[in-house]
Structure 1
Amino acid sequence: MRLKDKVAVVTGAGRGLGKGIALKLAQEGAKVVVSDIDINNASETCKEIQQSGGQAIAVQTNIAKREDVEQMFKEASEKLGEVDILVNNAGINRDGMLHKMSDEQWDQVIAVNLTGTYYCTQTAAKVMRERQYGRIINIASASWLGNIGQANYAASKAGVVGLTKTAARELASKNVTVNAICPGFIETDMTRGVPEKVWDIMVSKIPAGRAGKPEDVANLIAFLASDEAAYITSEVINVGGGMIL
């Protein structure tokens, strides 16, 4: 129960990796704001936490809209308390080769993955600076180093890394840490939908010999969110079974 009575916001927590993170933080004692653009998915995650004896609320949030983000933090404060932990997990992809990519594909990904992360981080930073305490963990990606067919996604995640390092420098003196995690090939509803041949190719590139599970990422987040990680900030940590060099 390293996070007992801490209030944690997890964006994109309705399913997949975000759901795994929310469940783990609740298991560690945190009161969790389950944020997702799909309120039905958010409610299901919230229900699982509550059935396990944890505290949680579900909040429908489009993080690409500042007013949604501000409302989410307001609800968190009113119902659970001021936010101690923020996990910026929500993200989308709209893949396409650079020469064929539309402005809409570019704008959608940047709006959610980068601008949305900025809105959440900025809102959290205002609260955390005043309280002289906070943990911000951003989900980046190995693609921040570049990936064919993902110019928009790679640019957004590279931006998240830059935002992480800048925020970490600005907030360190306020006892607020900011770190980024780059998950590798993680087994979720989305990745399980890829053809078996593609799955096998991806797994063959992983020295550990298997796809990761949401809890592999969630375990690290629980540590970074705890007081045990108080002296760790501005880091970009790979969780990929050795796949990410």
Structure 2
Amino acid sequence: MVQEKTAMGDVMEAPGLSDLLKGEVAVVTGAAMGNGEAIARGFARSGARVVLSDMNAEALAATVASLRSKGADVIGVTGNVASYADCERLAPKARAAFGDVSILINNAGICRRVPAEDDDFIGSVEAQLTVNGLGSVHMVKALLDQLKATRGRVVNIGSIASFVATTGGIGYGMSKGAVLLMDSVAQIGC
């Protein structure tokens, strides 16, 4: 029986998707909670083998354990997309566990609304540009050979902030605008 409102934790029991992504290997960044967790659960429910990545080791372990308890074929790799070394460390772990990655979901991101007068303004903007913008570049570069081998797909999670200015949202808007432009450039060839 289909429930009208499926809680995020119950998506593994939702009917109708079990083989849609069978044979696919997906990496989801920022997958310990929130949107990333929901995306990872949906991919697992649809038959994909999923590599969950997040810098919050405790929450990541809990999400991986929850998915495994439902029969999902998943692993967790702790790391920070702001660190290219962490992204490079994830790539061979994904391949060793499941084979070459065929889907990359660049979901990890941060949003800090800090006024320009604040002492941490510059640090906040730099952090958002690094995680939200460069983090996506880091993951694509780290997994590029695998994605090419599988003719894989990359989904970069954007934001309305790419188009609409918000108060205190300079760093976030710039970083998500960079993600939007990265997608456009990738479509015509890097």
**Shorter-chain TM-score tier:** 0.7 to 0.9
2:123 counterpart residue number: 104
Q: 1:121 aligns with which of 136, 140, 151?
A: 140
- For structure 1, the 5+ residue unaligned runs are 172-245
Deviations 1:189-218 (A, max 9, x none): xxxxxxxxxxxxxxxxxxxxxxxxxxxxxx
User: AA paired with 1:50?
Assistant: R
Conserved? CA contact 2:115–2:121, under 8 Å: no
1:152 aligns with 2:152: no
Q: Secondary structure at the match of 2:189?
A: helix
After TM superposition, the score normalised by the length of structure 1 is 0.66
- For structure 2, the 5+ residue unaligned runs are 1-18
User: AA paired with 2:75?
Assistant: I
User: AA paired with 1:169?
Assistant: I
Residue correspondences, number: 170
1:14 counterpart residue number: 32
Q: 1:86 aligns with which of 89, 104, 123?
A: 104
Deviations 1:27-58 (A, max 9, x none): 00000101000111111111122111110001
2:82 counterpart residue number: 64
Percent of matched pairs sharing the same residue: 31
User: C-alpha root-mean-square deviation of aligned residues, in Å?
Assistant: 1.4
Deviations 1:104-160 (A, max 9, x none): 11111111111111111222333222x151110011100111222100000000000
CA distance in 2, matches of 1:140, 1:154: 10
Q: 1:141 aligns with which of 159, 177, 181?
A: 159
Shift of 1:97: 2.7
User: AA paired with 1:36?
Assistant: D
Deviations 1:87-113 (A, max 9, x none): 000001121234546211111111111
